[in-house]
Amino acid sequence: MCIDNLPHLGTSMMSRNDPSVLSIARRVGTLGAISLLMAGCVSAGAGESPIPSPSPSTPASPSASAAPSGPSSAGGFYLRAWQTQALAPQYTFTWLPVATISDGEFIDGMVAVPAIYPGPLWVGLNAQPINADGIAAIVAEARKDGLLGSTSDFTATPMAGAVTAHIQMVVDGKTYELVGDPDALTRCRCIPDPGTSGAFAEFWQKLTGLAMWLPDELGQSSPYEPTSLAVLAMPATEATSGITPQEVAWPLATPFSRFGTAMGNDSYRCAVVTGADLAALEPVVKQANQLTRFVDDAKVKDSLLVRVMVPGEPGPCA
């Protein structure tokens, strides 16, 4: 049975993926904060009983599910975990996958972001090698939780405005596309039955705390070097009182009017930047903040949202 109204004793980290009003405000600047709806307690299944301590809470992340296009880990294993919410694209554009495992490398999306405004435009990720024992432990846990069967939807009774968690796994050549409630255990401390929303949430919480769950199976952390960067160009953010926006030259040859494809309308242009364009753009955005205005050769001034992309992640511009 689910136990209501118990305090959540776990820890949370302020991250680029945190779906709180504060973090959304930091991500989108003067685009405005979003009021998020809090979902009620979701039953994790019949026959469940309370446990003495909960797991950490979870952040948010975007992207539509698709078969991984990047490299996979040893033995064909691949994993990506992310979150979505029914918001306009500009509000979720910078939501990072919370965990990715590809080609024997764990890419951690639980990144702390300074709680300042304007915050940095670029948020880098860290990566660690994960050994075969670590991958085997993840697969074994997924099987124990009843997530690798015929059921793929563990959302129970979703509420309007709630965040949805997604997990894509490739195990022994088979792709699993899982969705569920990431907070089923943060509001209800339960021992979940396999194949329930609570079991999904328990597995999710282990993925978002992988360094604590499997510390001996991970190698030394180092900065992740992306091969692609998602970029959303939009009308220049209005100046904040007392802060003069920085203006820098747009480093790409393509002007904003022809950059990528329209997202929603022509005032928002989206592209995935790779190769020589990535090499030119990356050092510039690393020095920029949320108020920085980029000026192209036509003297058009745009603001940017940027996000490091991970292997196997589909482009966000569709």
pLDDT tens-digit map of 94-153: 999 999 999 999 999 998 877 888 899 999 999 999 999 999 999 999 999 999 999 999
Each residue's pLDDT tens digit, 13-44: 345 555 443 333 333 333 333 333 233 333 33
Instruction: Find the mean pLDDT for residues 264-274.
Output: 91
Provide the pLDDT for residue 16: 54
Q: What is the pLDDT at residue 187?
A: 64
User: Confidence band (pLDDT; 50, 70, 90) for 158?
Assistant: low
For residue 204, give the nearest of 154, 167, 156 by alpha carbon: 167
pLDDT of residue 189: 65
pLDDT of residue 75: 60
Q: What is the mean pLDDT of the chain?
A: 80
Rounded-to-integer distance, Cα 97 and Cα 307, Å: 10
Q: Does the pLDDT value for residue 212 go beyond 60?
A: yes
Is the model's pLDDT at 188 over the cut of 60? Answer: yes
β-strand pairing of 153-154 with 174-180: parallel
